[in-house]
Amino acid sequence: MKTRKLGNSGLEVSALGLGCMGMSFAYGVIPEKKDMIALIRKAVENGVNFFDTAQIYGPFTNEELVGEALAPFRNEVVIATKFGFHFENGKSIGLNSRPEYIRQTVEDSLKRLNIETIDLLYQHRVDPNVPIEDVAGTVKDLIHEGKVKHFGLSEAGVQTIRRAHAVQPVSALQSEYSLFWREPETEIIPTLEELGIGFVPFSPLGKGFLTGKISTDTVFKENDFRNYVPRFDLENRKANQPLVDLITEIAAQKQVTPAQVALAWILAQKPWIVPIPGTTKLERLIENIGSVSVELTPADLLQIEKEAAKITIQGERYQAAAQKMINR
């Protein structure tokens, strides 16, 4: 497995990480814990050393899963988790990044993960009620205390990134990015490059759409959140299919899969970008890892760029309530 450095932070990770959210949250039926532990450990065996979780995934059960799975490899892996949601009786009831609450929830994360230091700690969503300087200052203190190694932000806008970075250097920004969602290219990616901050795209396969495995006939399970995502409405799926057709065409030329092309495209954008596709299936894990070896030539990238420019993606990526939590 090739490695990459997340900006100027010195944090070096496998070129592809593993997003663990779907192992206990959001995508329908929750798999058996033992199977997910085996999957995470298989990822380590295949060179992945960068694992992403969060307090809200479950809530809490995902951190416990990741901690148990990675316990035998603690010195070999980089574990990222996130704070920023307020919990009462085990349920999220909104945002909370007050300094005292950050400290409380970070202590809880350390216990669930069964680790002494969090390698990369993200603010999950920007809290409009707490100055980002206070958030960055709190994480700076946690770093000095040895409880955190690196500070990250998730779905933050340019000015928030700059203000936070001035207090405590931001090692990585995690936000959605793929051929299905290219908004970060306008302002976010240039800012990250300027400041020397790494980029960790989540949903690099468009929540599964870019794999070519989702069609107009696909019926999502009852508690799969994609049932409520406008982009996955039937009419929008039809309208967005040309993008999948383009990726599938390139994949056929390269004798690889559409998912591998979609991930290889992200890897080709900048050397400090590390996508974190999630999966609960071993065959998909191996397939995703294979994308690191797929080389898209300048001609391939130009073809994708020219053809993708003709396609207007239809549908918002979140429901309105979730969209309000994104600081753009």
Active site residue 228: no
- Cβ contacts of residue 265 below 8 Å, gap of 6+? 179, 296, 301, 304
User: Could you tell me if 126 and 132 are in contact, meaning their C-beta atoms sit under 8 angstroms apart?
Assistant: yes
Distances (CA, A) of 8 to 16, 171, 194, 198, 311: 18, 7, 11, 8, 35
Distant-in-sequence, close-in-space partners of 35: CB < 8 Å, separation ≥ 6: 280
Q: What is the DSSP letter of 216?
A: T
259 and 288 in contact (C-beta within 8 Å)?
A: yes
How far apart, in whole angstroms, are the C-alpha atoms of residue 44 and residue 33?
Answer: 17
- Angle at Cα 293 formed by Cα 11 and Cα 197, nearest 5°? 25
- Candidate list 57, 101, 122, 177, residue with the active-site label: 57
- Express the helix, strand and coil content of the chain in percent, nearest 5 each: 45, 20, 35
Which residues participate in catalysis according to the annotation? 57
